[in-house]
Structure 1
Amino acid sequence: MKKKIILFDTTLRDGEQSLKSNLNTQEKIEIALSLEEMGIDIIEVGFPMSSPNDYQTAKKISYIIKNSKLCGLARCKEKDIDLVYKSLKKSNNFRIHIFLATSPIHITTKLKTTLNKVIEKISFMIKYARKYTDDIEFSCEDGSRTPINDLCLVVKTAIDAGATTINIPDTVGYTFPQEYYNIISSLKKKVDNIDKCIISVHTHNDLGMAVGNAITAINAGARQIEGTINGIGERAGNCALEEVIMALYTRKKSMHFFTNINYQKIYHTSKIVSNICNIPLAIHKAIVGSNAFSHSSGIHQDGIIKNKKTYEILNPQDIGLNKTKINLTSKSGRAAVKYHMKLMGYKKNTYDINQLYNKFIKLADKKGQIFNYDLEALAFNSKIENSTEYYSLIYFNIQSNSNLSIATIKLKCGKLTKLEAATGLGPIDAIYKTIIKITNYNIKFIQYVLTTKNNTEESIGQVNIKMKYKKKIFHGIGLSKDIIKASVISIINCLNNIWRSDQVQKNIMKINKF
């Protein structure tokens, strides 16, 4: 029989501690609603005693969230506990989460007290909190570095006092999986009242063990996992809940556990947290990174095209993504080229795969990543490899004040030279409008990304853009010490890709006539 794993999200509390600036109330509400929609069991909305904003935000969230249980953090102090209750009392279902350090280093150097006094305080504060709710979680801060006999004594005391969930945190991310397994299994064996509570774990990623420790703890008997979306949190971060969720889902035949998660909301929630917290996802981040379902090796691509299970253990649709990405690079084989041509609707008899592949490899070695419009040009325009750029920059000037910018741009357009100017809300908008005047292209900005190389006074700005034209997405890249110039170059680069695509379509129409 499968057993349920309770998912406790602390993105709004532990996750926020890692941010350069605090989230405002509306941002926290948006994240909380997304967590609820995803099916998270318990949402830790904050530490009400830490600031008036935390208190007010928790209070507002308590009126909005209906399905997930809400939780607030409190030290072993009456005022902290009172404030958690006041902030969450309007909620249909809430928990008070109390913590106190239990390891020797914390007790002697931070608390400057003794284990016996710590135990007395734990018992008193849990009983105090019970007047507000029966749902009390107690966390043994730095529990993984607490001697096992001391930990057993603390846990037994907390359960006797009325705690219904006992959390054993690896607060500093020090513990290895086998050590964590031994801690949880020892508690199960040695604490005689352990069956009266749910064992929880809160793992940090200082040594990269957070998810591994959480999975190991489940196998040892833990039934609640605490973590954050995308693994954000103090120092190296927390256990990434999306990774635990998909590990349990993917290995469900060997791990007999389940969660109440709406899997198809995982990617959406991940992006919301990333955008609101202004923490970009690493491209190789497990489950939700942009490369998680991307394939560049020709051998891998051939396998994926024949059967996705050859190189993908997860289905991207399960987490709310549309499809697998088959990247076109110099590492790609003929199978990937044919796959992309088929996606664009071209039959095998409309092009020569050997000639196309040879051209493709030469261009990929020069350019790096190849896009579908490049493939079309290679297949149907014999001049593409040696063609000069149709659009090239002759001159540009930007003048800006506090409200508006004016861009003046002179381009060489084939054999012609064109000069235009336009006003916009900022330099990029002005450049964009001027370019439309010159080219008459009905283009739309989809994405503008600025990055810097070297991070010194001599830094080079790199601008990557995406534009939509005739239902296709085109890419452009520009490099310069002047980011405005880099922006102009990237747009012109994109324009040349659009122009070549138009020429290809004209060639295809001529071919079809004959």
Structure 2
Amino acid sequence: MEETMFDYRQYKKTYFMPPVDCYDWVKKDCIDKAPIWCSVDLRDGNQALIEPMSLEEKLEFFEMLVKIGFKEIEVGFPAASDTEYQFLRALIERNMIPDDVTIQVLTQAREHIIRKTFEACKGAPNTIVHVYNSTSVAQREQVFRKSKEEIKQIAVDGAKLLKELADKTEGNFSFKYSPESFSQTEVDYALDVCNAVIDVWQPTPEHKAYINLPTTVECAMPHVFASQVEYMSKNMHNRDSIILSIHPHNDRGCGISDAELGVLAGADSVEGTLFGNGERTGNVDIMVLAMNMYSQGFDPKLDLSDMPGIAATYERLTQMNIHMRHPYCGKLVFAAFSGSHQDAIAKGMEWRKEKDMDHWNVPYLPINPEDVGRTYDSDVIRINSQSGKGGVAYVLDQSFGIKVPKKMREDLGYAVKAVSDVEHKELSPEEIHDIFEKRYKKFVPDFDIVEVHFRQVDGIQTTVTVEQDGVRSVIEAGGNGRLDAVSNALAKHFDRSCRIICYEEHALQDGSDSSAIAYVGIEGGDGRNYFGIGIDPDIIRASIDALVSAMNRSMQ
């Protein structure tokens, strides 16, 4: 094989399957109960920013997390820097931690770091002290150059010190342990280390401890992680006294799948960030996980109803940008430009009204955009050169109350697409409305009807005064209705077809005045269809104006 810089042969699997098959998680088809959500935005997310947040920015972010509904929030690595230390002290001394919220702090399994961490936590109402050390083959061999037993002893010594200092420090403490790089650690060895820590802490069902399994570097397919989690869950000491937590990263782009399958496999808690910010390709996105539950009819225990507000605050505080197609929150995530998609959405929304449906099931929309603070007129059906007649009609209906007849939609759709195609841009509802009026109402006419009278004899008889090029002509004709009679008069005067093929009208709210809008389509002398509209408080006048508009268009 020819040598290349893109050489797959230098890589091999770095993960380990459990020593026995663990596939019970496959039998479950959904997550019907929200896990404990632990936000790590203020630690894992913050340390991944180009410019970490300031003290006041972190305080504002913390308040947003509380408002959303997080009950566990990792607030930092207080021994890492003075900013981290002062942030934790500010939360405590300003009484910003609600009674039902537990803060979490991270520390390496090193004595001086653990001691400073407890110093920072003094007086906090409820704190999880999260201690970790790396256990993977690469870390043991390359970084620490220690044996399995020596690495396990680091974990045990750290666990003992946590227990000792908790008894001496003001506050209510719980403990969490992570075998960092769990994803690249032999699973039976990770279990051995975790059980050794559990044996030190001796948790009870009344005072549980946490074991956290991080995919520090995501290196395997999601089903592998699920099997690893299931093995740990089934073989862990004091399982009824353990909250099993997972902390997925996203190196393979499968963080969401890792988390969801991990919960099916036995995880009780998920650590992650809003919008997936974190080291390298990011942490698992808790917002997406929660909304995935919501979209299947289960309570995620987080309030994400103001998604635009949450996203705006996140972007301002972190200086990160949310991708326009990010699930549930991206600016274009509900947008449909395709004509067939728009048509299906519009018909689905009409079906909901007709059937008075009590559950959501609309084509191409997994959730109701309004549930997360989005609107149909500006977020869902959007118009460009790829759009179709149904989408254009939907926008006019939603934004202006204009209900374009079906026979008229194709003509309008092509007119709108032509403008978008030439100008190479998306069109706003206002621009679409402008095209609609210019095409069917406001163009310069060849003629106008300045006066019309009706009398009921053998149907309807009409006398129509037509003005063209400054010359007025009076025509008489009959028909089976007023509009039919006027149509026959125009056909007689101009000696060309004016057969009505489409007529609809409805009330139109325009400011404080209620007018009527009429739509008329005719078959012109060339066999093509032409359309016009009329708007007037008098429905007869509106109808005549629409007919005049259509006839004028057929003559241009």
TM-score, normalised relative to structure 2: 0.66
2:39 corresponds, among 9, 12, 20, to 9
- 2:292 counterpart letter in structure 1: A
Indicate conservation of the 8 Å contact 1:73/1:98, yes or no.
yes
1:242 corresponds, among 277, 281, 287, to 287
Show the counterpart of 2:412: 356
Secondary structure of the structure 1 residue equivalent to 2:294? helix
CA separation of 1:353 and 1:250: change in aligned 2, threshold 3 A = closer
2:386 corresponds, among 304, 326, 331, to 331
1:264 equivalenced with 2:305 (yes/no) = yes
Residue deviations 1:436-477 (CA, integer Å, cap 9, x gap): xxxxxxxxxxxxxxxxxxxxxxxxxxxxxxxxxxx9xxxxxx
Q: CA deviation at 1:357?
A: 2.4
Q: CA deviation at 1:352?
A: 5.0
Show the counterpart of 1:137: 176
Show the counterpart of 1:70: 103
Indicate conservation of the 8 Å contact 1:70/1:88, yes or no.
no
Residue deviations 1:264-305 (CA, integer Å, cap 9, x gap): 145432331122111111111111111211111111111111
Show the counterpart of 1:320: 373
Matches within 5 A, 1:172-211: 172-211=217-256
Query: Which 10-residue stretch deviates more, 122-131 or 343-352?
Result: 343-352
Q: CA deviation at 1:3?
A: 4.1
Task: Report the number of matched residues.
Answer: 392
In structure 1, stretches of 5+ residues that fail to align are 388-470, 472-506
Q: Measure, in 1, the Cα distance between the counterparts of 2:434 and 2:304.
A: 39
Show the counterpart of 2:194: 155
Indicate conservation of the 8 Å contact 2:335/2:381, yes or no.
yes
Indicate conservation of the 8 Å contact 1:32/1:65, yes or no.
no
Indicate conservation of the 8 Å contact 2:288/2:328, yes or no.
yes
- 1:377 counterpart letter in structure 2: D
Q: Measure, in 1, the Cα distance between the counterparts of 2:185 and 2:66.
A: 34
Q: CA deviation at 1:386?
A: 11
1:104 equivalenced with 2:130 (yes/no) = no
Q: Measure, in 2, the Cα distance between the counterparts of 1:167 and 1:128.
A: 18
Q: Measure, in 1, the Cα distance between the counterparts of 2:121 and 2:328.
A: 33
- 1:228 counterpart letter in structure 2: T
Indicate conservation of the 8 Å contact 1:9/1:42, yes or no.
yes
Show the counterpart of 2:327: 286
Query: Which 10-residue stretch deviates more, 145-154 or 333-342?
Result: 333-342
Matches within 5 A, 1:456-475: none
CA separation of 1:82 and 1:267: change in aligned 2, threshold 3 A = farther
Show the counterpart of 1:369: 426
Q: CA deviation at 1:362?
A: 1.0
Q: CA deviation at 1:149?
A: 1.5
CA separation of 1:113 and 1:8: change in aligned 2, threshold 3 A = same
Residue deviations 1:77-128 (CA, integer Å, cap 9, x gap): 2332233323233322111111100112111211222221222221222222
Q: Measure, in 2, the Cα distance between the counterparts of 1:218 and 1:349.
A: 51
Show the counterpart of 1:379: 436
- 1:328 counterpart letter in structure 2: I
Indicate conservation of the 8 Å contact 2:178/2:214, yes or no.
yes
- 1:24 counterpart letter in structure 2: S
Indicate conservation of the 8 Å contact 1:103/1:141, yes or no.
yes
Show the counterpart of 2:271: 226
- 1:282 counterpart letter in structure 2: H
- 1:93 counterpart letter in structure 2: N
Q: Measure, in 2, the Cα distance between the counterparts of 1:115 and 1:17.
A: 29
Identical aligned pairs, as a percentage? 24
CA separation of 1:350 and 1:313: change in aligned 2, threshold 3 A = closer
Q: Measure, in 1, the Cα distance between the counterparts of 2:91 and 2:369.
A: 31
Query: Which 10-residue stretch deviates more, 177-186 or 128-137?
Result: 128-137
- 1:214 counterpart letter in structure 2: A
- 2:337 counterpart letter in structure 1: S
Q: Measure, in 1, the Cα distance between the counterparts of 2:96 and 2:363.
A: 44
Indicate conservation of the 8 Å contact 2:389/2:414, yes or no.
no
1:212 equivalenced with 2:257 (yes/no) = yes
- 1:95 counterpart letter in structure 2: I
2:91 corresponds, among 44, 61, 73, to 61
Q: CA deviation at 1:349?
A: 7.2
Show the counterpart of 1:346: 402
Residue deviations 1:286-339 (CA, integer Å, cap 9, x gap): 111112111111111111112252111112233333445201112222111111
Q: CA deviation at 1:51?
A: 0.6
TM-score, normalised relative to structure 1: 0.71
Matches within 5 A, 1:306-317: 306-307=347-348, 309-317=362-370
CA separation of 1:195 and 1:350: change in aligned 2, threshold 3 A = closer
Q: CA deviation at 1:219?
A: 0.4
Query: Which 10-residue stretch deviates more, 368-377 or 80-89?
Result: 80-89
Query: Which 10-residue stretch deviates more, 355-364 or 68-77?
Result: 355-364
Q: Measure, in 1, the Cα distance between the counterparts of 2:384 and 2:184.
A: 48
Residue deviations 1:216-240 (CA, integer Å, cap 9, x gap): 1000000111111110010111100
Q: Measure, in 2, the Cα distance between the counterparts of 1:366 and 1:375.
A: 14
Q: Measure, in 2, the Cα distance between the counterparts of 1:38 and 1:225.
A: 16
Q: Measure, in 1, the Cα distance between the counterparts of 2:71 and 2:120.
A: 19
Q: Measure, in 2, the Cα distance between the counterparts of 1:385 and 1:160.
A: 83
Q: Measure, in 2, the Cα distance between the counterparts of 1:273 and 1:142.
A: 28
Residue deviations 1:178-208 (CA, integer Å, cap 9, x gap): 1111111111233343332111111111110
Secondary structure of the structure 2 residue equivalent to 1:263? coil
Q: Measure, in 1, the Cα distance between the counterparts of 2:536 and 2:442.
A: 21
Q: CA deviation at 1:348?
A: 3.7
Matches within 5 A, 1:77-88: 77-88=110-121
Residue deviations 1:407-455 (CA, integer Å, cap 9, x gap): xxxxxxxxxxxxxxxxxxxxxxxxxxxxxxxxxxxxxxxxxxxxxxxxx
Residue deviations 1:370-417 (CA, integer Å, cap 9, x gap): 112222221222499999xxxxxxxxxxxxxxxxxxxxxxxxxxxxxx
Q: CA deviation at 1:166?
A: 0.5
